[in-house]
Chains A and B, each alone.
Chain A
Amino acid sequence: MEHTSLLERILRGVALTLVVIFFMFPILWIFMMSFQTNETILRIPPQLIFEPTLANYTALITGKLMTAAGTLDIAFMRNLWNSVFLSVTSVAVSLLLGVPAAYAFARHKFRGSEDIAFTLLSFKFAPALLVLLPLTLYFQKLGLANTYFGLIWVYQLICLPLILWIVRGYFEDIPADIEYAYRIGGHSWFATFRKIALPLAGPGIAAAGLLAFIFAWNNFVFALVLASADKQPVTVGALAFITSSGIQYGQISAAIVLSITPTLALALYAQRYLVEGLSLGAVKG
């Protein structure tokens, strides 16, 4: 840094500012909209100065939406809870299934192992809409449509391949000899998996879990088709703000702010550990 000229530093600052503005502007604008009423939002030209109101948040949290046409019940808090429940449970199930599977794929080359691993990955290739129609029919026959169980199962299509493939890479990066050294020191393979492989792949597992959580949280189509109002996550629930009396931009913005808060908080929290874990590394000696 000390070798850069003043001009270079100024240019770099300007460039960085432009990039940050470009990426942050929509989020900032949404954040600002969430404190405005529809009237101030739809003013032309748009203005940066406004009188902030908490009405949008109040409406979301109390579940009563006042519109020109009257009072409307909205299930936003319920949706938020559904999102949390669906995402957390799906990721937990995926980790439980995916991490041991990833370990198996990383450490044991058995007949067809590559094919199975690839098949699991291929779940991510298929467009969700293509899968959805037959899935909906099956789920209705099986009584799984509009159940948490069914949704979590379908969410495995999102989470499991992601976790499996990311974590597998991390396991493969751990030299097998470290595990052998532990085993020959008097431990079973299961103890080795728990005490050596899992902690060493920890940052990778956390990263994969976080990514899977974000994907699950942001999912829209599966929930739209397979869940009715009381099981819907926020992504689908936000549709309710498109009402007969107009689009409730203020409430939509507030809903977005509330719904990205958990993922943002989680990402910021996990980031510290991710970076720490990755830089600790030095597994390869």
Chain B
Amino acid sequence: MSPTALTISGVDKFYGPIDRGVHAVKNLTMEIGKGEIVALLGSSGCGKTSTLRMVAGFEEVSRGAIAVAGRQVHTLPPVRRNVAMAFEGYSLYPPLTVRENMAFALKAARLPRSEVDARVASIAKLLEIEDILERYPSSISGGQQQRASLGRALIREADLHLLDEPMGQLEPQLRAVLRGRIKHFIKERGLTAILVTHDQTEANALADRIAVMEGGVLQQFDTPDRIKERPANLFTGTFVGEPPMNVFEAFVGTAHDRINLRLPDGLSLDYDRNAFSGPVRDQLLSRERVVIGIRPYAVRRSKDGVPATVLANQWLGDQTHIAADFAGGSLVLVEHDRTRLDLGAPIKVSIDPKNLHVFDQASGKAISHGMELA
């Protein structure tokens, strides 16, 4: 295992008095290796920015400990933590030009002029802001300010680079290009970066590992692939993935040699016993009720499937999203061809047990993914 860049152990954050205030981050523990890029992914108010700010030192840690590169830092002021940060609101210094803003920390660290100039030039090229280096923050666009702010963080050689929504204001095309370049830049220099984002595409594209947060609790911390294929719980399953995973409550029943997953509205998914692997079947049969999840692109239309009614049909240029009225809820299917289906048309859908995610009905914890136990 590579040396750790950041260790967060049992951290709680309360706004207001401890144990009585707003509990923004709950008993968070995570470890990030040197050279890793980690995305904190979650909706607004999930605690991801609070976490970042505690690491940076702008918010006090209510309980627990934070170590950067092996040094306990949670009681140190930001200046002594050796972390760099790009702020969501850019926070450029208004009286300084873009160049001065970016060179600022390097000058404070007393680097030679030639070195500062060289670094500013290379970062400016990377972020395509060479032509605005002599401008003032108030005279450039939001996207340019954001890149300048990102540049100001990336230019430093810190133990940890914290990037708060670093690309939210950029145009989609530029964003895609910059993602690749920034990832390359970070990897090439062996920097460690934590980015906070609510954009899963960004998290998937940039991060080695994604920490999914919700309600101040770390839901899952894993590689983008595993988060998608093996969501630890219902929240991660439905939060990550576009369009979101379809979920239904189901009663588990057996008849002859078959397993029924009975859905609302009298529908039932009917499988051969042997369609499931032994451990998954045992888990299923030991429960009365479960929640099943199926990714939209894993739902197939077939002649002998379960009936559903088309509610909406959208061709997005490269795929079709079909929403269907199904089992008292709605089911979304993704097909790669341009499907011509009128609203109200009856269809039949089938779900391969290999693509079925099963969650515990009470806790939402994953039980199985396809043929494997969670």
Interface positions, chain B 102-117, Cβ under 8 Å from A, are 104-105, 108-109
Q: Does B145 contact A (CB under 8 A)?
A: yes
Stretch at the interface among A138-146, A147-155, A179-187, A224-232: A179-187
Decide: B137 and A282 in contact? CB cutoff 8 A: yes
Q: How far is the CA of A285 from the CA of B95 in the complex (A)?
A: 12
Decide: A182 and B93 in contact? CB cutoff 8 A: yes
CB contacts (< 8 Å) of B105 on chain A: these are 185-186
Count A/B pairs, Cβ under 8 Å: 72
Q: Does A189 contact B (CB under 8 A)?
A: yes
Decide: B78 and A285 in contact? CB cutoff 8 A: no
Beta-carbon nearest neighbor of A189 in chain B: B77
Q: Does B83 contact A (CB under 8 A)?
A: yes
With A181-B152, A188-B79 as given contacts, are A285 and B92 in contact (CB-CB < 8 Å)? yes
With A186-B109, A285-B142 as given contacts, are A180 and B78 in contact (CB-CB < 8 Å)? yes
CB contacts (< 8 Å) of B77 on chain A: these are 183, 188-189
Interface positions, chain B 82-125, Cβ under 8 Å from A, are 83-85, 87-95, 104-105, 108-109
Decide: A181 and B137 in contact? CB cutoff 8 A: no
Interface residues on B, range: 20 to 34
Decide: A181 and B138 in contact? CB cutoff 8 A: no
Interface positions, chain A 165-200, Cβ under 8 Å from B, are 175-178, 180-189, 196, 199-200
Q: Does A280 contact B (CB under 8 A)?
A: yes
Decide: B87 and A181 in contact? CB cutoff 8 A: yes
Q: Does B57 contact A (CB under 8 A)?
A: yes
Decide: B79 and A184 in contact? CB cutoff 8 A: yes
Q: Does A68 contact B (CB under 8 A)?
A: no
Q: Does A283 contact B (CB under 8 A)?
A: yes
Beta-carbon nearest neighbor of B56 in chain A: A184
Q: How far is the CA of A280 from the CA of B79 in the complex (A)?
A: 29
Beta-carbon nearest neighbor of A284 in chain B: B89
| 20 A–B contacts, CB within 8 A, in A order | A175-B89, A177-B88, A177-B91, A180-B91, A181-B152, A183-B79, A184-B78, A185-B84, A185-B108, A186-B79, A196-B93, A200-B95, A280-B94, A282-B94, A282-B138, A283-B94, A285-B89, A285-B94, A285-B137, A285-B145
Instruction: State the B residues within 8 Å of A (CB).
Output: 56-58, 77-79, 81, 83-85, 87-95, 104-105, 108-109, 137-138, 142, 145, 149, 152, 156
Instruction: State the A residues within 8 Å of B (CB).
Output: 175-178, 180-189, 196, 199-200, 280-283, 285
